[in-house]
């Protein structure tokens, strides 16, 4: 459903832009191959009113059943490609990674202070420098050094679950933040109400609200960023200003925590301390220090058996649409034209719920990853970590944390539905938050 901001902006300030872009795109398209199939676009606005703002992965999955595993949509001349199968994602994001490894420009990111996040950066030298530094500390052999911290924090989780099992969701979120904060900053989270935990949770939640196509009007009409907040359709300025202040504190408060402890000679071993000591040894570059802060800030925010582990990622992917890719050049796929600058979404949800591969896909069934002899099968690709050259750099540490947590919880507790005052089981209602993350 499109918000009132969109309607106001369309009516008051954007019709001329829409007409210009629409006519240019229509004229260019006449001499090209057809776009991939998808919902029929309306004159000028394209599929603006078709792009879902809630549970988009479900709508895109239905589109896949109707139009095929590669679906095309457009909004005011901006193209969106939805990949609903592993085959399509592999063919484009893996085998043609040179063309499909860019990121779309998302104006709201810089407005809310998340511009430092190299996950969303285009493939520039700035991106390469940050990714290289991140990989240095989270590659497989380096990630193994963090196991003691992971296991220690998982033990804290088990104690918390034993004490207040009804707060399991909060305990799980605290675990993730506690591992990252200890690893990156040497900071020990002592309670669920910890200030740093709250900062990252709120900042990440706000980020997830504005990333996907159609989620924020300024992403569709970038020029609105230059108009005052009282202008029709520009209420996003207030949200952006508040979020930017929050993100600034999220990124800099733990950084200053480490810096101050280093001055006092009491900083615990951590990734941040090691990087800052290396920087100080080589002249103390302010620019290099900013790179270190950016990389640490990203890690801070990212933050039973193997069959259960695989099924968790398949059944309920935390990133149902992945992180958007973008094409850096025009391309042709199976006779269809894909323009340069197209936003490409990998529908992880659809891939994990492919009925031709997973029978009864809505059912949680770890046995689907076992052979008849009880041994693991070869289906070991965790789709949620992404594809191609933009695959998640921190996947090894994340993989180890999730696996160890599942094993520890299942070996320690019996898990069952809660009961009401009469002893009757309370049925579980699956409800997810909207946005980039579920």
Which CATH number belongs to the domain containing residue 112 in this structure? 1.10.630.10
Is the pLDDT score of 94 beyond 90?
Answer: yes
**β 336-338/343-346 pair status:** unpaired
Global model pTM greater than 0.85: no
pLDDT at 258: 86
pLDDT at 48: 87
Is the pLDDT score of 30 beyond 50?
Answer: no
pLDDT at 379: 83
pLDDT at 432: 62
Angle between helices 286-302 and 271-281 (to 10 degrees): 170
β-bridge partners, 131: none
| Domain membership of residue 4 as a residue range | 1-438
- In the structure encoding, which two tokens stand for residue 224, read together? 């609105």
DSSP state of 96: T
Is the pLDDT score of 363 beyond 70?
Answer: yes
pLDDT level of residue 333 (50, 70, 90 thresholds): very high
pLDDT level of residue 134 (50, 70, 90 thresholds): confident
Straight-line distance from the first to the last Cα atom of the chain, in angstroms, rounded to the nearest whole number: 19
Give per-residue pLDDT as tens, 207-252: 888 888 777 888 888 899 999 999 888 889 999 999 999 999 988 8
pLDDT at 36: 97
Burial class of residue 420, CB neighbours in 10 A (0-12, 13-18, 19+): exposed
pLDDT at 127: 86
pLDDT at 288: 62
Is the pLDDT score of 6 beyond 90?
Answer: no
Q: How many domains does the chain have?
A: 1
pLDDT at 211: 82
Percentage of the chain modeled with pLDDT above 90: 30
Mean pLDDT of 277-291: 66
β-bridge partners, 331: 338
Mean pLDDT of 28-37: 74
pLDDT level of residue 156 (50, 70, 90 thresholds): very high
Mean pLDDT of 20-40: 69
Integer angstrom CA distances of residue 105 from 15, 165, 196, 290, 309: 22, 42, 29, 22, 34
Give per-residue pLDDT as tens, 176-214: 888 888 888 888 888 778 888 888 888 888 988 888 877
Mean pLDDT of 316-336: 92
Mean pLDDT of 108-127: 88
Give per-residue pLDDT as tens, 342-353: 999 999 999 999
Give per-residue pLDDT as tens, 365-397: 888 888 877 778 888 788 888 999 888 888 888
Side-by-side strand order, sheet with 343-346: 70-75, 78-83, 343-346, 325-326
Check the annotation: does 392 bind a ligand: yes
pLDDT at 27: 46
In contact, 438 and 316? CB cutoff 8 Å: yes
pLDDT at 23: 52
Burial class of residue 177, CB neighbours in 10 A (0-12, 13-18, 19+): buried
């Amino acid at each position: 459903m499109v918000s009132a901001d969109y309607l106001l902006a369309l009516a008051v300030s954007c019709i001329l832009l829409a007409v210009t872009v629409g006519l240019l795109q229509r004229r260019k398209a006449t001499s090209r191959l057809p776009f991939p199939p998808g919902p029929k676009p309306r004159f000028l606005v394209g599929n603006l009113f078709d792009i879902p703002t809630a549970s988009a992965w479900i709508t895109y999955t239905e589109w896949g059943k109707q139009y095929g595993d590669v679906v095309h949509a457009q909004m005011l001349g901006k193209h969106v490609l939805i990949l609903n199968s592993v085959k399509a994602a592999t063919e484009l994001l893996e085998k043609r990674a040179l063309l499909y490894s860019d990121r779309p420009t998302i104006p709201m990111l810089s407005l809310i202070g998340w511009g430092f996040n190299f996950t969303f950066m285009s493939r520039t030298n700035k991106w390469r420098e940050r990714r290289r530094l991140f990989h240095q500390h989270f590659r497989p052999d380096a990630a193994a050094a963090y196991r003691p911290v992971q296991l220690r924090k998982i033990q804290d989780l088990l104690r918390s679950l034993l004490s207040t099992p009804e707060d399991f969701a909060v305990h799980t979120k605290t675990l993730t933040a506690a591992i990252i904060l200890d690893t990156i900053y040497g900071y020990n989270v002592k309670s669920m109400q910890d200030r740093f935990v709250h900062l990252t949770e709120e900042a990440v939640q706000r980020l997830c609200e504005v990333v996907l196509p159609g989620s924020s009007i300024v992403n569709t009409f970038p020029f609105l960023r230059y108009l005052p907040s009282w202008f029709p359709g520009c209420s996003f300025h207030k949200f952006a200003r508040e979020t930017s202040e929050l993100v600034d504190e999220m990124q800099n408060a733990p950084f200053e925590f480490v810096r101050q402890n280093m001055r006092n000679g009491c900083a615990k071993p951590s990734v941040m301390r090691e990087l800052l000591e290396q920087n100080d040894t080589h002249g103390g570059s302010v620019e290099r220090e900013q790179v270190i802060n950016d990389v640490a800030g990203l890690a801070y925010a990212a933050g039973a058996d193997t069959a259960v582990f695989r099924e968790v990622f398949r059944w309920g992917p935390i990133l149902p649409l992945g992180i958007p890719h973008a094409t850096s050049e025009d391309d042709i796929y199976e006779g269809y034209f894909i323009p340069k600058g197209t936003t490409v979404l990998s529908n992880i949800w659809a891939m994990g719920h492919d009925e031709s591969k997973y029978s009864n896909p809505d059912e949680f069934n770890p046995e689907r990853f076992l052979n008849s002899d009880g041994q693991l099968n070869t289906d070991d690709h965790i789709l949620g970590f992404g594809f191609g050259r933009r695959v998640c750099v921190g996947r090894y540490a994340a993989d180890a944390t999730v696996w160890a947590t599942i094993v520890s919880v299942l070996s320690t507790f019996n898990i069952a539905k809660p009961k009401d005052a009469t002893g009757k089981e309370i049925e579980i209602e699956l409800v997810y938050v909207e946005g980039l993350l579920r």
